[in-house]
Amino acid sequence: MDRTTIGWVNGCIGMVIFSGSLPATRAAVMGFEPFFLTAARAAVAGLLALALLVLLRQRRPDRRDLPPLAVVAGGVVIGFPLLSALALRHVSAAHSLVFIGLLPLVTAVCGAWRGGERPGPAFWAFSVLGGVLVAAYAAGQGEASLPGDLLMFAAVLVCGLGYAEGGRLSRRLGGWQVISWVLALSLPVTLPLAVWAMPGSFAAVDAAAWAGLAYVSLGSMLLGFVFWYRGLALGGIAAVGQLQLLQPFLGLVLAALLLDEAVSPAMLMVALGVVACVAGARKFAA
């Protein structure tokens, strides 16, 4: 396979892993507080990442790499996990997945910004239409919660920036190395926070919450990024980032099957509408 095809394959694997993130987070926040969940998932993944870096004797990042690594950490290690966990205290996983439909667009915009590209008017027209569609849906649903919806919007914004910055950095450092260094360098913050926020007793935590914590720690926080950043580095940030268009649909299926959440026709229609808007924006991005 050529470089681009390998990138798309890796990106697809990463996207499939990420599809379970919000349903797993929803299950986890039923047993754990969002702050503990955010710190714990990053700390567990960080300890594993540090072990990999030491065992495989990876070279330390240069000083110039530290600021972009901090941006990635702020977006995907702290920002998105915490904001989405807080949002999922107010809304269901199925509801939150509609917002994830905007993530490919945010990633493409951040990638274009960091790369100095200038998308044309048609690109921005589709972008605004997609944003209005999601906002109208969120405002018109009985389940809609202003705090939950605002938190999900913020989560998508910081995540898109973290994806784009990580994909750009992966071209030089390597995909799994980027997320491993981000997690390892975050340990002085995440590990003490996990210990500080740890509940006094785990007796009331059920198996579903433990399974959710395990998934977001190993899959969403580490393994998914190994494939995702490699895909972005090899296939292109804006192009491979469009694979995230499939994530809402896979996530809705998982939310229905695993959490027994209702998936309304309106959710599916909005998800399809967002996909169409982002696909149009991608067509005119160049």
The parts of the chain modelled with pLDDT lower than 50 are none
Is the separation of the CB atoms in 211 and 24 below 8 Å?
yes
- For tokens 């705090």, name the residue: 147
Strand extents, DSSP E, the chain: none
Segment 215-251, tens digit of pLDDT? 999 998 899 988 988 888 887 777 677 777 777 667 7
Question: Could you give the angle at which helices 175-197 and 146-173 cross, rounded to 10 degrees?
Answer: 140
- For tokens 């002085």, name the residue: 188
Is the separation of the CB atoms in 108 and 255 below 8 Å?
no
Whole-number pLDDT of residue 155: 92
Whole-number pLDDT of residue 184: 93
Whole-number pLDDT of residue 43: 94
Whole-number pLDDT of residue 173: 82
Strand (E) or helix (H) holding 153? helix 146-173
Please tell me the distance from the alpha carbon of residue 247 to that of residue 48, in angstroms, as a whole number: 26
Alpha helices in 56-145 (DSSP H): 66-72, 80-87, 93-100, 103-115, 121-140
Whole-number pLDDT of residue 226: 87
Work out the number of other CB atoms within 10 angstroms of the CB of residue 213: 23
